Amino acid sequence: MTITTTPPGVRPGRRLRRTALLLLLTLPGLVWAVVRLFGWERGVLVQLVAFTPYAALWSLIVLGVTLWSRRWLIAAVAAVTAVLFAVTVLPRALPDADRGPATGVPLTVMTVNMFIGAADPAAVVGLVRRHDVAVLAVQEFTPRSAAGLSAAGLDDLLPYHALADEVGTTGSGLYSRFPLTGQASRRGDGGGLQDGNMQAYATIQPPGAGPVLVESVHPLAPYALRAEDAWRSDLAALPPADSGGVPTLLLGDFNSTLDHAPLRDAVSRGYRDAADAAGKGLIGTWGPYDKLPIPPVTLDHVLVDRRIGVRDVQVHGVTGSDHRAVVASVVLPAA
């Protein structure tokens, strides 16, 4: 006799296993989306949250699988997860209706992490020349970097400097086409683990514009659990944009993406992220690192005072560096 029906207990067990698998695919994404939405990242989640755009893409795959499986309750959870990710991630790929003032004095700025001095000076100077950059901020800026940039002709293009070069990862610098005033540097919080990173700053005044404060930003990276407090402290110490004072530009390697609550808090203190405003906020600026399969994330930013307009942002690779350069065209208030 031929058996044409499934023995009792087989189908329910298989169905239960499929349901459990779908839940395992769906629930971590929901937790991730909620942590990101409310800024609850702590400990190991700080590094993980940097990869939120990739989790957002994965949530769409999970949604498709749950819909195909007709597990409607789980599919509803997957849909909520995908919507939460879309709300937090998708706006960075869309230009803002409000990019700030469209008229004023145009200025092109650039920031690049020199990767402990290993970035090719000629490549950096080539970008400055090609994009008519007027202000350059550099991080992980060493004496070797300073000498290399000078030899490559940067002083002819940007003759005014505020330099705090150091051996290792902590150095910082600013180069400008315009004279600098009040140039200095401040050291961030090393958290007792190392010397904090230097952050060079100065005030420029391009012709036709009022004075503008520029800072080369480099908070300590949350590379270990014990470095998290210093990372948060450095981001919290970034100067707020003073609506009654001089407009501010913050350029650098923030060691944070817009999925990190401390960076969003910094932006909320009177700034806009230039790449986000231009609809290019999902372009990766760091990675893969040391040939490891780490997908690129957006750690380098140009934050502009909300009195400053954003025209465009471009991201360019730099030979020898694990970071890409960010070039931003902005509009300063006229004097």
DSSP letter, residue 110: E
Least confident of 4-8, 23-27, 41-45, 64-68: 4-8
- CB of 180 closer than 8 Å to CB of 160: yes
Q: How confident is the model over 40-84, as pLDDT tens digits?
A: 999 999 999 999 999 999 999 999 999 998 989 999 999 999 999
- Predicted pLDDT of residue 43: 96
Q: How confident is the model over 91-138, as pLDDT tens digits?
A: 999 999 999 999 999 999 999 999 999 999 999 999 999 999 999 999
Residue 9 has pLDDT above 70, yes or no: no
Per-residue pLDDT band for 7 (boundaries 50, 70, 90) equals: low
Residue 260 has pLDDT above 80, yes or no: yes
Once rounded to an integer, what is the mean pLDDT over residues 220-226? 92
Q: How confident is the model over 178-222, as pLDDT tens digits?
A: 999 999 999 998 877 778 999 999 999 999 999 999 999 999 999
Once rounded to an integer, what is the mean pLDDT over residues 290-316? 93
Q: In what order do the strands lie in the sheet with 300-305?
A: 180-187, 198-204, 212-217, 248-253, 300-305, 271-273
Once rounded to an integer, what is the mean pLDDT over residues 230-245? 94
Q: How confident is the model over 147-170, as pLDDT tens digits?
A: 999 999 999 999 999 999 999 999
- Predicted pLDDT of residue 11: 63
Task: HSE, CB side, 13 Å, CA atoms: give it for residue 295.
Answer: 10
Helices 10-38 and 52-69 sit at what angle, rounded to 10 degrees? 150
- All domains of the chain, ordered by start, with CATH? 10-93 (no CATH), 105-332 (3.60.10.10)
**What number of residues does the chain have?**
335
> What separation in angstroms does the CA of 9 have from each of 1, 6, 21, 42, 70?
21, 8, 18, 44, 21
- Predicted pLDDT of residue 3: 47
What pTM did the predictor assign? Answer: 0.92
Once rounded to an integer, what is the mean pLDDT over residues 219-242? 95
Rounded to the nearest 5 percent, the helix, strand and coil shares of the chain are 35, 25, 40
